[in-house]
Structure 1
């Protein structure tokens, strides 16, 4: 239960110092007699000040029989602080381990990406280059179509050739895309539980072909 009195920090500190210095446990009646003089606390407000110190874990309390006893031993305070320090060190150690593990996974993913890029290069052309050629051929095909529309008696053989070439490039592009999706699946498994690192890696690898909304490779137009 929250104390009804508006406890002042200075009086709280004085009451705590008295309990620490005394080195013994006190009943509330003992404190109602001593604290008014040593901490300038009204006798009617002593219970509220003790309750506030207890709520803030500044003092310990134990009920023995029908009486509550209150104390603050220096050794107890040291033990509490040491436990908090040990817990903080353990948390920090786990954070360091997690950070090192994520860095290791990122290094593995980067190494795998480089190996996969080399494999694609060995096969001829990368997906980005194929897409660029495909766009150029489609533009060229549209230009030819416009020319044929103006000269309807022209032979459409060239247009057919360009169309087949563009279709073949699309087929190759889709084949490479399937390979890329397979590598992406491996990377997602390697970075399971770390969506931020996964998005950053994919964005760096896909560059202009990265779909920010879908968080993956852009669909072929």
Structure 2
């Protein structure tokens, strides 16, 4: 007893398109749900899903008239859609080929003068050692940053402002205490 294998989604789509192309007619969903199982072996349960996927891909047209949806697809439209898609793909292929050719030319130009030579290897080694030395010198400068004249001047200015503020508060504090003591002496 062999088990019957169901149709793939692509087979269902192809068979559904055959219904439209063979009849060149306009259908409602309920009509297709009756025709598809009998003529093309598409289960009635999957007709709506297959039809919607064809509408989404612009292979079948759908129009709502009143309360009903009508579906149709004509071979001429499918041919035009395929031709347009082919033109777009050929255009993209042409652009891609042109970009590829331009990039190949750029690569060839970039390779000129960049052959691996002994001199080039020595220069690359020197560059690497200079970059390492630069990083070490940066670290050294960072270590002595606090001795930088500009930083020292900023610290002096900050100290001056702090000293003036301390003196102001000290003078105010002393004046306040003196007036407080005088007040006590005068009232007693």
TM-score normalized with structure 2 length: 0.49
- Structure having the higher helix fraction is 2
